[in-house]
Structure 1
Amino acid sequence: MEGVTEDEVLSDFKDRRLGVWGIAQITAGSGLAVYAMWVGILQPGFRRVPLKLQVPYLPASKTQVRNVMTLLRGRQGTLMDLGSGDGRIVLAAHRQGFSPTIGYELNPWLVRLSRFYAWRAGLHEEVSYRREDLWKVDLTKCKNVTVFLAPSVLTLLQEKLQAELPDDALVVAGRFPFINWTACQEEGQGVDRVWAYSMQAQRQNACTTQEAHIDPVIEVVL
């Protein structure tokens, strides 16, 4: 959701038990706030997830969200945000005309936070946030996917995306690109940079690569 700051996230929960949220409020505005939230509140939701697949919560900036929406401009249909965090990408996509827009997030605290933001924006009946494992999500009918995930997760996720998404699907990645894929478009610079990938192009590249590695057959006529 655009315009949401770390201080607002913390103030939304000021009436909850102090605990780590209290510490986070005291240290708001610094890296300690994010770390405190991750260790005390958010990390427990990932205890059953293998360490290499855990992704610390780091909200997308307004610039990152804007860049994602730029790459999705002119497209329509279903949009799924895998690892949706606080849900701001889903809200922005809905405002840009995508429907349905669905966020998948394993951490229950972030799912609740996303639903709160949607309610505050008056869109809680228009968007959906689900606490589900992204590896079990059916992508076969999805035309638009957004991901802000760690490189170790992207490397594994690309196999699922390539196996399930239709040819006309577009995948937009933020913060980190897919190492083995070639982006069809990019937007932004530095940490705000995002990449768009055409599934049809990725499959064509994969076929070309496989053909290039096939040993030629030499026919010997006696």
Structure 2
Amino acid sequence: MEDPIEALLQEKNTIIRSQNEPNHRLTLLITASVATVYGFWAMFVFPRLKTIPLKLKVFAAASLGFQSTGFEVNPVLLTYARFRARWNRIPSHRVNFVNSNFWKVDLSQYDHLTVFLAPPVMEPLEVKLMTELADHARVIVCRFPFPHWPPTCTEGKGLEQIWAYDVHTFRKKKQMSQEIKH
């Protein structure tokens, strides 16, 4: 039978030795955490970079002389857009990218809008634009059309398709449908 003091000392030595050894679990945990964060970031950001139309309409409008403003909440995409504007030598007075939520901005000052949003938000966007835009405004929609507005024209096919909508056309259609109901 061992002496309780010797057993206690051996146990303390064991604990002291394990504290001096490098802890590989912590290294693995940190590496796994970084890889996971990068994986999620890459999964959500890289596909969005690939889906941005190469002929981004904000740049096209700015190069034709229009003053253009782009709204983006994703800081990576915002930085990409600003870099691309500088790379293409588009003057800052012609194109401006703002880190702001499109839904919280009053769009009544704009006559032309280019929208690149997902299908679930297109119907609420119709309502927002109808209340904020002037009759002469035009909206260009990339990839996913409005569910209720009649397009003025469309171009392209599949994922490269765009639709042009004139606000007055939809208001006229809506007014006619309300007159028919009454």
Task: Please report the TM-score for the alignment, with normalisation by the length of structure 1.
Answer: 0.59
Alignment-derived partner of residue 124 in structure 2: 156
Q: Report the Cα distance in structure 2 between the residues aligned to 1:194 and 1:209, rounded to whole angstroms.
A: 26
Residues in 2 aligned to 1:141 and 1:124: alpha-carbon distance in whole angstroms: 21
SS in 1 for 2:62: helix
* Equivalent residues of 1:38, 1:57 under 8 A apart: no
Kept in 2: contact 1:185–1:196 (CA 8 A): yes
Q: Moved runs in structure 1, 4+ residues, more than 6 A?
A: none
Give 3-state SS (helix, strand or coil) of 1:183's partner: coil
Q: Specify the code of the residue in structure 1 equivalent to 2:167.
A: M
| Distance in structure 1 (CA, Å) of the matches to 2:61 and 2:42 | 26
Work out whether 1:182 is the aligned partner of 2:174.
no
Contact 1:115–1:124 (8 Å) recurs in 2: no
CA deviations over 1:112-159 (Å, ceiling 9, x no partner): 121122222222523110011111122112110111111111111010
Aligned to 1:105: 72
Give yes or no for the alignment of 1:61 onto 2:29: no
What count of residue pairs does the alignment treat as equivalent? 146
Question: In the TM superposition, what is the alpha-carbon distance from 1:91 to its structure 2 partner?
Answer: 1.8
Q: Could you tell me the TM-score, scaled by structure 2's length?
A: 0.71
* 3-state SS in 2 of match to 1:142: coil
Match for residue 141 of structure 2 among 163, 168, 173: 173
- The SS at the match of 2:51 is coil
Q: How does 1:20-169 map to 2 (within 5 A)?
A: 37-39=42-44, 42=45, 58-62=50-54, 65=55, 88-98=56-66, 100-123=67-90, 125-126=92-93, 127-169=95-137
Counterpart CA distance in 2 for 1:160 and 1:167 is 14
2:19 maps to none
Structure 1 distance, partners of 2:50, 2:73, is 15
Partner of 1:16: none
CA distance in 1 between partners of 2:172 and 2:84 (Å): 40
More helix by share: 2
Aligned residue for 1:195, secondary structure, equals: strand
Structure 1 residues not aligned, in runs of 5+: 1-18, 25-34, 44-55, 66-87, 215-222
SS of the counterpart of 1:155?
helix
Aligned partners of 2:135 and 2:49: how far apart in 1? 31
Taking only aligned residues, the RMSD between alpha carbons, in angstroms, comes to: 2.5
User: What's the secondary structure of 2:173's corresponding residue?
Assistant: helix
Gap regions ≥5 residues in structure 2: 1-33
For the residues of structure 1 that align with 2:114 and 2:53, how far apart are their CA atoms? 15
